[in-house]
Amino acid sequence: MFPRILPVFFVIYAAKCTLRTDQQFWTELAENELAEALQVKWNLGVAKNVILFVGDGMGPNTVTATRIYKGGESHRLVYEKFPHVGLLKTYSANKMVPDSSCSATALFCGVKANQETIGVDASVKHKDCSASLRPEARLKSLASIALKAGKSAGFVTTMRVTHATPGPIYAHSADRKWECEDKMPASAAACKDIARQLVEDWPGKDLQVILGGGRQVLVSNSTGTKEDPLDTWSCIRKDGKDLIKEYQKDKHDRGLRYSYVSNNKQLKGFDVDQTDYLLGIFANGHLKYEHERNKGPEGMPSISDMVEAAIKVLRKNKNGYFLMVEGGNVDMAHHRGWAKRAVDESAALEGAVRLAAAHTDPRDTLLVVTSDHTHTLSINGYPYRGTDIFGIAQTSKYDNVNYTTLSYGTGGPGSMKYSVKTEHNRTVAAREDPGVNTDSFDYQQIAAITLDENSHGGGDVVVYARGPHAHLFHNVHEQHYVYHAISYAAKMGAYSGTSAIYTNISLLAIAAWVAICIMK
């Protein structure tokens, strides 16, 4: 026992000795924040460009853990320096705790929907194909109204391009699992699968950027490799269609300049000047976690690599663009109880936000960073400041067993860290010691309740904003408010003819207020 505790003791001792705790340090932190706050001014311009980042499952505790992971408790992530912040209520039309499809529908389409439905309103129940075909139930996404406004539009995801979060950008489906025909029941014969909607229907076929995974739902009878296995959780297309070839044929027949890329080398080498439409499919299923992906020429790109390529293509439109970016592996890791993987993926998303912030002008580009839902991750115990966020928090005085700083409310079988034994003719469950590998990417944190996998959380998520009309994110909002705030900021959709009036009224109100203050 002593050899195990000794390294932890030295880490704690070193942390306590090197971290500043003097009054001047705290005063400087506060004064710097105050000076920053006093410089904040509303940007009442029009958002020519909009980039909406969604950290799937990136709840407030994930953000806090990411901050500590990247730089310690006093560190600030790039989007935490954005001048405007609010909260979003994530409940769906029929559930207190949402899934990603209904929450993405709220974010991108402006109304709350039922669990596991995509791009349709709450009149469509789960699996009700016929209801999803009614035109009045089908919702317009931020991408579709951006295209109508003469802007370019697209999305980047580390998931399958047909998955729950990107789906509402272009599709209308009564079931998020209808990504390809293989998992659609006979009762849904009249409905088109999500992959076909992406390639064959509007607005999917007119999106200028589509980057992510999902080859097996686009190309029939796809085969896996050791490097890129088939995703057994998803469907595998079997109807003989090759939607990637159909995408290419459509662009060729319409005389459009396009590029199709499938690995790092091709993504870095495509001719931007000769590409107005970019399709990149880099995996059979979801893209690899950042820490394990092949970074070589034949490997998969990072989320930052994809965002950089997307911006290069989209910014060619003088009218601007809308781009959605999803860091989906945050959620995938949380579902499996891999807290370090989830936090590392959250850190990768922050890198993509940093890149976008550096490559765009805050005077004409609205950046919004948020999440679709939380997870049940908690930060607990009383660990010393400066110690490893993935390390041991304390030893419980009730069972004399260590516990980690991070844990989950619910978890899969890997989080069942109890051993059952018999004492005095009764069965008891004893909590296992976390061991010494809690900092591993493969370590699964303990959970209170065992399920088939970790469930989502139902708490509020944070929304951070910078750029034109970023101040519209300012308090506790409904999740579907994001769609309306972005539409207003960019003068799109229902707000295309009224934004100027509202802006003028706002300016007049401010001018009147200033005049009254001067008169006083």
Annotated binding site for Zn(2+): 56, 331, 335, 372-373, 456
Amino acid identity for residue 349 in this structure: L
Q: Are 154 and 323 in contact (CB under 8 A)?
A: yes
Of 173, 92, 100, 81, nearest in space to 130 by CA: 173
Q: How many CB atoms lie within 10 A of CB 504?
A: 11
Query: Distance between CA atoms of 124 and 120, rounded to whole angstroms?
Result: 7
Binding residues for Mg(2+): 56, 163, 165, 326
Helices (H), 236-360: 243-253, 264-269, 303-314, 329-335, 339-359
Amino acid identity for residue 465 in this structure: A
Let me know the angle formed at the C-alpha of 406 by 405 and 411, rounded to the nearest 5 degrees.
Answer: 145
Q: Are 63 and 462 in contact (CB under 8 A)?
A: yes
Query: Distance between CA atoms of 265 and 305, rounded to whole angstroms?
Result: 11
Three-state SS at 258: strand
Query: Distance between CA atoms of 350 and 37, rounded to whole angstroms?
Result: 22
Distance of CA 167 to CAs 203, 223, 450, 457, Å?
12, 24, 30, 21
Q: In this structure, what DSSP letter does residue 323 have?
A: E
100 is catalytic: yes
Query: Distance between CA atoms of 418 and 158, rounded to whole angstroms?
Result: 34
Three-state SS at 136: helix
Q: Of residues 92, 100, 234, 302, which has the active-site annotation?
A: 100
Phi-psi region of 493 (alpha: psi -120 to 50; beta: other; left: phi over 0): left
Torsion of CA 427, 433, 439, 441, to 10 degrees: -20
Of 36, 3, 91, 25, nearest in space to 466 by CA: 36
Three-state SS at 403: strand
Phi-psi region of 381 (alpha: psi -120 to 50; beta: other; left: phi over 0): left
Tokens of 29: 């932190």
Q: Are 344 and 393 in contact (CB under 8 A)?
A: no
Query: Distance between CA atoms of 407 and 375, rounded to whole angstroms?
Result: 11
Three-state SS at 214: coil
Binding residues: 56, 163, 165, 326, 331, 335, 372-373, 456
User: Which residues are catalytic, by number?
Assistant: 100
